Amino acid sequence: MIKQKHQQLYEILAEELRQGNWEYKEKLPNLKDLAASYSVSINVASKAIDMLKKDGLVKVKVGDGIYSNVSKVERSMEFRHSGDRLFGSYYSAKCLKVLVEDNSDWQMLFWNDFFDMIVKECPDVELQINYHVAKKEPDYNFDIILGSRNYISQSGLPPEKLMTSAVLKDFYPNLYDGLSFSPKDLAWRGEELYLPYGFVCNQLLCHSEVPEAKSDENILNYIERLADTIHAPVAYGCNPGRNFLYNCGLHFVDFSTGKLAMPGRKDVLSIFRRIRELYKGGHLIWLHGVILDNAEMYPLKLNQPFRMTDYPFNLSGPNTRKLHCGQDLKFMRMPSKESMTCTELAMGINKDNRFPEESLRILRRLLSSEVQAEMFNNNVAFPLYDKLLSETEFSYLSQDISECRRLSVITPDIEVNNVLSYIVDWEFYYYLAGVRNDDVFDFINNKIKYYLKS
């Protein structure tokens, strides 16, 4: 079960009660003092006390205070929490440490229910779930990480630490039959290491009068057409630059080898020039240096009749998406042509994990059609079932995926991603701003050379 703050505080206080920090019938600090002592809100402290009260570990006397209800005999018993189950001296459950990239409220509604389902269906498994850890700490050693391949790598499981998909053949060889993605599609440097469970693609969020993109247009062709026909600033906001460049046909990574690969000078400069013309005309808005959520593009007073922005499917929950559509806005298919940008979500299993079958049970359940549907309904990810997609407004994604087998922009190689972020994205921005001219190609090439040498 995913540990929210009040659950974490509950476990801390429960352990302290059993250790004898407060004797039987001794008064605990009040809610205000508890909240201050553990750096949480009073609301969190109140929820934790409610859980302790429900489990009989404290008694709450209205108008008086909170009292320990743990005797010396009870303190000798150890408890572990897994889902809705409390184990006393039960040590044979197989513990799996799981890290999940998602941490938004609407996403947690899905994951909470999902992990509760797992521990109820698998009484031999105990899960220790952590949400999005922004920075890897030395004591983190996860058995499973769920999220993008870049996130898996950054959070402690780079490719060399991952178990290969060969484990599927030992336990569930037909798990990916009939699905949109398989480990083979996410192979990295010839090895099948990532076990997909969903994917995320961008849409356009735009004013309702903006016309649809044509099937043979990428984002650059589309904005150029709008700029020529509307005769007003398109004001397309996009960030980061690599997604935009990839969608325009400039690929800086060779996914067959996993290495950086500069496109040709002529191709780079041709596309850069076209983009700069749009930028100068007010048709593109670059968000470098601006602390701004994509969803906040629209309240800004830009005084421009046409505005649009990239909008990842999992950027907001279903209610927010409905709200956008009620404000004279609409979601629209991202023009992709042959270069569709997509983030595949996958499970990475630590190669030192002693319980691969138990780990695969989580994946097997995550790939079940009912869970995939719920994942989509909660805006966590698009499902891997074509049938489920065909029943939604995103039915076009099935065809897009079949036509664009190599979809990723973000790689599991941290150094490659650093080069794209530190060098390509910023040099592209300086070119748009006029700091660089045709020398931008050499700047990118030489900076990459020196960066990789260091």
Most confident of 143-157, 220-234, 293-307, 324-338: 143-157
pLDDT-derived band at 287, boundaries 50, 70, 90:
low
Task: Name the least confident of 80-94, 187-201, 405-419, 431-445.
Answer: 80-94
Closest by CA position to 27, among listed 56, 65, 55: 65
Task: Name the least confident of 51-55, 150-154, 221-225, 400-404.
Answer: 400-404
pLDDT greater at residue 8 or residue 144? 144
Helix (H) or strand (E) segment spanning residue 279:
helix 265-280
Distance CA 422, CA 427 (A): 8
pLDDT-derived band at 128, boundaries 50, 70, 90:
confident
Q: What is the pLDDT of residues 19-44, one digit of tens each?
A: 778 888 899 999 999 988 888 888 88
Give the per-residue pLDDT at 380: 94
Which residues have C-beta within 8 Å of that of residue 288, sequence separation ≥ 6?
239, 426, 429
Four-CA torsion 289, 292, 297, 298, nearest 10 degrees = -140
DSSP designation for 101: S
Helix (H, G, I), strand (E, B) or coil at 67: strand
Partner residues linked to 125 by β-bridges: 94
> What residues does CATH 1.10.10.10 cover in the chain?
5-77
- Dihedrals phi, psi of 439, to nearest 5 degrees: -75, -5
Four-CA torsion 52, 58, 62, 65, nearest 10 degrees = -110
Which residues have C-beta within 8 Å of that of residue 103, sequence separation ≥ 6?
131, 132
Give the per-residue pLDDT at 259: 83
Question: Given a cut of 70, is residue 237 above it in pLDDT?
Answer: yes
> What residues does CATH 3.40.190.10 cover in the chain?
94-198+342-403
pLDDT-derived band at 454, boundaries 50, 70, 90:
low
Give the per-residue pLDDT at 21: 83
Question: Given a cut of 60, is residue 260 above it in pLDDT?
Answer: yes
Strands 80-82 and 85-87: antiparallel
Tell me, letter by letter, the H, E, C secondary structure of 117-130.
HHHHHCCCEEEEEE
DSSP 358-378: HHHHHHHHHTSHHHHHHHHHT
Length of the chain: 454
Q: 5-77: what fold?
A: Arc Repressor Mutant, subunit A (1.10.10)
Question: Given a cut of 50, is residue 292 above it in pLDDT?
Answer: no
Question: Given a cut of 70, is residue 82 above it in pLDDT?
Answer: no
DSSP designation for 22: S
pLDDT greater at residue 107 or residue 322? 107
- CATH number of the structural domain 94-198+342-403: 3.40.190.10
Query: What beta strand segments (E) does 316-359 contain?
Result: 329-333, 342-349
Distance CA 189, CA 113 (A): 35
Q: Residues 229, 330: contact at Cβ < 8 Å? A: no
Closest by CA position to 347, among listed 361, 333, 337: 361
Four-CA torsion 345, 350, 351, 355, nearest 10 degrees = -110
Calculate mean pLDDT across residues 273-282: 91
Mean pLDDT of the chain: 83
**Hunting for tokens 């402690």 — which residue is that?**
156
Give the per-residue pLDDT at 239: 64
CB count in 10 Å sphere of residue 426: 17
Calculate mean pLDDT across residues 347-376: 96
Question: Given a cut of 80, is residue 328 above it in pLDDT?
Answer: no
pLDDT greater at residue 399 or residue 395? 395
Give the per-residue pLDDT at 79: 41
DSSP designation for 131: E
Helix (H, G, I), strand (E, B) or coil at 157: coil
Give the per-residue pLDDT at 87: 47
Q: Taking the CA atoms of 288, 329, 327 and 231 in sequence, report the sign of the dihedral they define.
A: positive
Q: Residues 229, 222: contact at Cβ < 8 Å? A: no
- Dihedrals phi, psi of 191, to nearest 5 degrees: -110, 140
Which residues have C-beta within 8 Å of that of residue 180, sequence separation ≥ 6?
199, 384, 385, 386, 389, 398, 401
pLDDT-derived band at 305, boundaries 50, 70, 90:
low
Question: Given a cut of 60, is residue 86 above it in pLDDT?
Answer: no
Which tokens belong to 208? 């309702």
Closest by CA position to 58, among listed 12, 32, 27: 27
Closest by CA position to 147, among listed 134, 138, 137: 134
